[in-house]
Structure 1
């Protein structure tokens, strides 16, 4: 190939160019940039150096400059595979994977033998789950270098992930045949992992007989003894070879008698899952005698026993655990509370222990030691405090009584103060709960678990700064961002979520959105982290773990961490869409001083906005002062410390909250939420709220139908149905006729368009006025939406519903208060509602003044 003019370097400059590459790979960007400038000073149009300089600039955060320089490099030498490879890397850094793949493929045309380009292309294809392309890339890499085992394994993975089990097995078998004369050592982890991975593929293909035969042939030499035993037991059970499976699971229980999976397999192998309870209990008793220190064989029978048999077994279990003073006894037992008869039996027994003397167990006639007697004195009231806190057996005054008894026994116990704090939390008294949990934390400053709880309770009480100081006790606090920066580095999602939700309650939407976007970025990081493992896992030979990781990543966003954050973020955007003034901070209702979405008069609005802007300016000034102080006290980094943290240009989320398109921004969270958490009721509800505001009526109808499918009696389904009806009728001219017809056909049962709107509303009231307080609230909301002049009647309805449903949950009563605030109700109405609500929930902070 003829040399392109200006692209040939002298030996010295060529050495410098290689040095640029090494500096980039070592993340020494300043040094790399300096050497690149030296090369370009003599060779200003050298495309490859320009491309490497662009890559360094991109790594330093100068994305636009990097792309401009990369395009100049390509213009200078369109036939340079280095330039095209770098161009692909730049696009990959911007997460535009389609453009990156195009660039890689163009680079490969110019340099078909380049392993780095092929490897990067293959990694991108598996990242995007383009398995056909991945197979082709891995096949090409194998043909070029068939002597490297990783290339064979990678091709097998490509076939396996695309569903080609037979092809994957054949690839691994072919390689084994080429090296069968060299017997691998037991310490050759890469070989034995590949062999077990082959067995994994055979089993997944459904040929369990072949998988078992293969495992028997290779299992004795594999260093993963436990893994082989687990696979063998599983195959035997699935092949219905019960006797052999029983022996296999018994051997596993000898290794770990606390593994519930082993017990599940053992029970199935013995055909006891549908057997008489007495027979199953006998089997578990035998295991308990064999493993006297194991808890599982004693706890498991409580799930299937009933009546007197259950009473005897749970009595023995409780006394054994309480005599030992096991703090987690209630956590082990509470799963039984779904059965009311079992709940009442446990309650009766433990209340009996509290009022009487400590009994002996039915299977142990030994008298209690002095230590066991001491344990019993505190473990019983501690169990009862937790018992009466639990949702199915809740009696908060009793829970408080028993928590106080525990504290009287040992005033220095962290657990006793924590259970008392939890009681106040369930009472709705977030202030007292956070105070008590902070007190519990002060009793053991080295306990990270109680520190976490204390921080969480402070956030639930909207004490964000105090919570950060509390969490900061267990962070390094060396970075300029302080504890919050450390929590971000540690990807502490629970804290960021609670922090964001606290800011929503305070209507500080900028900070709330900042936290939710930070969490969203953490999920993006987890998604991108796969790139590191595509090569690492092959190099280390950990193939089964790698495949499991890829499958886990496929379901990354159906994790509750994501759904909880996304729902909160969407609610924040909905608040912003309904009341754009909230972009300036919490708008105060001029009447009662509470944060509100209600309508203010123009004068009140201007006053509130002025005050909100002042508060925002004060926050920004405080943040700027904090940064200046941190910068002044921060030591100058060493010259070699290239990877310095980027400074956050928008710590208060001002840019996020000042968006002009909040509903469009909400889609960033809503899309993955509905894709991966479609069976979550709250996800469908916020989906409807977004789509109805965006006038996407067909999508809104689908969310409505899903809500009805997931919870047919849910009161919000009625509210949504009316809103959709109203939207179709009021915007009839602005909607495509096909869309209207499709929505009407799709949701005809929900919308009941053949019934007049007034009749539709009253029909719901007649059918549901005694169902729940939520149904009354739904009726009032729809009535208010249909005719705002009925507000006085609707307010009266909500007030009456509080006394009518005396057993209403705290969250239901809080929802009623929020509805009144949204309507901009007067302080008299709000105070009357709070007064009524306090009769049911006297300690709830939300119903207190101040």
Structure 2
């Protein structure tokens, strides 16, 4: 019976399969095979914790079954139960000692638990190979490198170095061998030997920033921890610290340039660290070479010099780049020669010099100038797609998405076989909210042999497309369709995580242990560090909250109408029947919604199921009486990631604030947020939580005890250096927040306005006064923008544009709130807020005349 249930489950008959497996257990609950099968069904259903419980029940009845122990070990690794993994691996080690996967699995288990020396001991006691190892024995080579890595993690650098030297002939991955040797030599302060090895590594790969950084460490120019992750942003962040000698770093990289002239990264890397007096000649030489070669990505390679961090200590570098480009553009246009060199350029040199100037002005926010120059350049060279792409980007920055989409489509038409240009056009169409046109264009590069191209789009897991599509649907107020796209992205990432399961056995058999550990680290960070997942997750939850608020508002309206009818003398029996019928209908709708959601999930999980189109799938969201139920599976996924992104934390708070018996969970989210940097919204959310707790019944809390937020209040106060007294009234607290000085005063003002808006409907607060205060705080932001413009902070233009949009959207939201909450009685308030909105738009347009607000 249990086996039949397993077959039925794999045939897509999920519920029937579960029933047969359960019936099989009822017949003989002591059967280890039935429990094992039950675990296999749970595993196939991605319910790993339930599967583990079934495996443990099976092992109680058959404690010597190695197959169950193997399955258990794989799932324990999958859910990161490393302590339980050691127990399972020890049992497998005892019963199958001569199987290499048994002792390698145990070594990995100790590694994941942080017990590196025990992992090394396991390898030493079991890894016995013939001294005449074949040079083509890749598994053996990987085990040698894995043991060396364990020694390094354990801090045994001398032993690791000696081990690597002794096994050099049998290690096939020579670059990794050299890298490990150099790493250990640095740790042992044997810098001269490390220097020679890093030079050899740079000769192998001169584009590796990691090798170049290792070389700088070997000559004592870079004095950061050896284990620090290397990136260009990280190195730039050290430029003003004693950890990096910028003058010596520049000299060293110039010497490396001479040894490795073909390295692109060594050509521009010195520009980020050299002093201002040396910058201009070095930048001129670099830019001249790139312009002569006709490199369109010249600006991109220097874009980091325009970053705000860089400006903080080298404010003249980006302006110097602009001056050089302007000089070259002018000279090449007038006499087809460089102003500071005898190099004879080709006919296209002017185009790329002028192209840099245009991108420079675009980055500074001089959009009108950049647009007029790019149009003139297009007239001279209409065949270059890069120019039309730049025009589209400038128009996008100006907020003119329709014109930007047209410009990008013109670029695509120059090379219809270019997938990248097609994808960019699709993205711009979605930014312009043209979903159907974007879908049609996306299908141009979908295989012609597929029966359903729309299905293929979703199965391709093109998450960038689905994210932009979801946002376009959201802007078009098609929330249900947006939720379908967000959910598809989330399911893709859950699938990526689940795919690890296939490698827990494979990597041990193939001895690819270092890659296996890297995969596990990747899985640990999958839900936290991937921007696409973070955005999809938070926006998915926000859309569900939006639908839930509509459902609650509709329910409140129906109750109000029912109350009004009673007061007007409606028959109580009739009213009672209607109310009862309404409740039954509501209950039926809720059950229907949950059933359809379950059916949709079952359909998605069935490998042979027919494709359900976007519109059909969206109905389960829009017709649900409890949309937040769809958030529950995602909450379990978020828990897997352990660490939660701040953006997702805010969305989680909104969900828990509305879910029944979840105020304690909302408090926990705020408590986690208070452990990081000060976020002004945490004060607003704290006030909302406090009011929700006061209005709720203590028996509603999940742990059946009163919610105590005193500790949370103290923690938040310390986060803001006790500058904001949280014992004051809502108005006083939010006013203090608006005037609280930090590195980003605008966010404080925006959070304060948001707080006035959200708390305006709370009992005891004056709606009109709170709403006006919310608008006034936003209106004062226009003065903030004007001050920035007076200081000439042109490089902040993109950030300012986003802030203007945020203020405008908040004011629109306030206007809608006033109209919905008090449609007739507050005509004066409507007029007041409308005047404030018009004043904000007028003042913002004066400050940013190039932006389409």
TM-score range, shorter chain: 0.7 to 0.9
1:145-544 matches, within 5 Å, as 145-177=96-128, 179-180=129-130, 183-273=132-222, 277-337=246-306, 338-339=310-311, 340-357=315-332, 367-368=343-344, 372-390=345-363, 393-476=364-447, 478-479=449-450, 481-483=452-454, 485-544=455-514
| Shift of residue 671, structure 1, vs aligned partner | 6.7
Deviates more, 1:521-530 or 1:778-787: 778-787
Partner in structure 2 of residue 130 of structure 1: 81
Q: Could you tell me which residue of structure 2 aligns to residue 19 of structure 1?
A: none
Contact 2:775/2:811 (8 A) holds in 1: no
Kept in 1, the 8 Å contact 2:470–2:483? The answer is yes
State the shift of 1:110 in Å: 5.1
Check the 8 A contact 2:89/2:106 in 1, yes or no: yes
* Correspondence for 1:816: 810
Match of 1:682 among 627, 647, 657: 647
The superposition leaves residues 132-185 of structure 1 with CA deviations (integer Å, 9 ceiling, x where unpaired) of: 3323333333333333322222222122212222222122222233x33x6221
Q: Secondary structure at the match of 1:300?
A: helix
The one-character-per-residue Cα deviations of 1:402-452 (angstroms, maximum 9, x if unpaired) are 322331232122211111111111111111112221221222122222222
Instruction: Give the whole-Å Cα distance in 2 for the aligned partners of 1:779 and 1:134.
Output: 48
Tell me the residue number matched to 1:550.
520
CA drift of 1:649 comes to 7.6
Conserved in 1, the CA contact under 8 Å of 2:292 and 2:346?
yes
Q: Deviations over 1:569-595 (max 9, x none)?
A: 1211221122228999xxxxxxxxxxx
Cα deviation, residue 775, structure 1: 6.7
Q: Is the Cα–Cα contact under 8 Å of residues 336 and 343 in structure 1 kept in the other structure?
A: yes
Report the alpha carbon displacement of residue 672 of structure 1 after superposing the two structures with TM: 5.7
* Alpha-carbon displacement from aligned partner over 1:496-524 (angstroms, at most 9, x marks no partner): 11111222222211111111221221121
Give yes or no for the alignment of 1:781 onto 2:757. yes
- Aligned in 2, Cα 1:359/1:697: closer, same or farther, shift over 3 Å? farther
* C-alpha contact (below 8 Å) 2:483/2:618 kept by paired residues: yes
2:683–2:716 contact (8 Å) kept in structure 1: no
Q: Secondary structure at the match of 2:389?
A: helix
Equivalent residues of 2:411, 2:421 under 8 A apart? yes
Distance 1:681 1:455 in 2: 30
Alignment of 1:665-680 (within 5 A): 665-666=630-631, 668-669=633-634, 680=645
Kindly state the Cα deviation for residue 757 of structure 1 after the two structures are TM-superposed: 4.0
Q: Give the Å deviation of 1:811.
A: 2.4
Tell me, in whole angstroms, the C-alpha distance in 2 between the residues paired with 1:674 and 1:73.
33
Tell me if the contact between 2:331 and 2:338 (Cα under 8 Å) persists in the aligned partners: no
User: What is the alpha-carbon distance in structure 1 between the residues aligned to residue 351 and residue 554 of structure 2?
Assistant: 52
Task: Give the aligned partner of residue 648 of structure 1.
Answer: 612
Number of the residue aligned with 1:101: 52
Equivalent positions of 1:669-748 (< 5 A) are 669=634, 680-694=645-659, 700=666, 712=678, 714=680, 716-717=681-682, 719-720=684-685, 722-724=687-689, 726-727=691-692, 739-747=708-716
CA distance in 1, matches of 2:812, 2:366: 26
Q: Deviations over 1:369-391 (max 9, x none)?
A: xxx3323211112112222222x
Structure-1 separation of matches of 2:77 and 2:636: 22
User: 2: CA distance between counterparts of 1:218 and 1:795?
Assistant: 70
Deviates more, 1:448-457 or 1:107-116: 107-116
RMSD: 3.5
The reply to whether residue 65 of structure 1 matches residue 41 of structure 2 is no
Structural mapping, 1:16-95, within 5 Å: 50-76=1-27, 80-95=31-46
* C-alpha contact (below 8 Å) 1:817/1:833 kept by paired residues: no
| Cα pair distance change 1:709/1:93, threshold 3 Å | closer
3-state SS of 1:244 partner: helix
Q: Distance in 2 between matches of 1:725 and 1:367?
A: 71
Q: What TM-score do the two structures reach when normalised by structure 2?
A: 0.78
CA gap 1:844/1:468 in 2 versus in 1, 3 angstroms: farther
Query: In structure 1, how many angstroms separate the alpha carbons of the residues matched to 2:752 and 2:110?
Result: 57
Distance in structure 1 (CA, Å) of the matches to 2:207 and 2:513: 28
Q: Distance in 1 between matches of 2:708 and 2:778?
A: 40
CA separation of 1:346 and 1:409: change in aligned 2, threshold 3 A: same
Deviations 1:798-832 (A, max 9, x none): 79557644565242343334323432556966777
8 Å contact kept, 1:277–1:304? yes
Alpha carbons 1:127, 1:530 under 8 Å: kept: yes
Structure-2 residue corresponding to 1:611: none
Alpha-carbon distance in 2 for matches of 1:398, 1:706? 47
Q: 1:759 to 1:269 in 2, by over 3 A?
A: closer
Q: 1:671 to 1:354 in 2, by over 3 A?
A: farther
- 2:594 maps to which residue? none
| SS of residue matched to 1:438 | helix
After superposition, the C-alpha distances for 1:189-225 in whole angstroms (9 at most, x for unaligned) are 1122112111111111111111111000002221111
Structure 1 pair 137/537, CA: closer, same or farther in 2 (3 Å)? same
Q: Find the aligned partners of 1:139 and 1:701 in 2 and give their Cα distance.
A: 41
Paired residue total: 729
The answer as to whether partners of 2:674 and 2:716 remain within 8 angstroms in 1 is no
Matched residues in 1 for 2:183 and 2:217: separation? 11
Q: Unpaired runs of 5+ in structure 2?
A: 223-242, 556-605, 790-799, 820-829
Query: Is contact 1:566–1:670 with CA below 8 Å preserved after alignment?
Result: no
Alignment check: 8 A CA contact 2:489 2:536 kept? yes
Distance 2:30 2:666 in 1: 51
Q: Following the alignment from structure 1 to structure 2, what is the Cα–Cα distance between the partners of residues 720 and 291?
A: 55
Tell me: CA distance 1:91–1:264, structure 2 relative to 1, closer, same or farther (3 Å): same
Find the aligned partners of 1:701 and 1:79 in 2 and give their Cα distance: 44
Residue 531 of structure 1 aligns to a residue in which SS?
helix
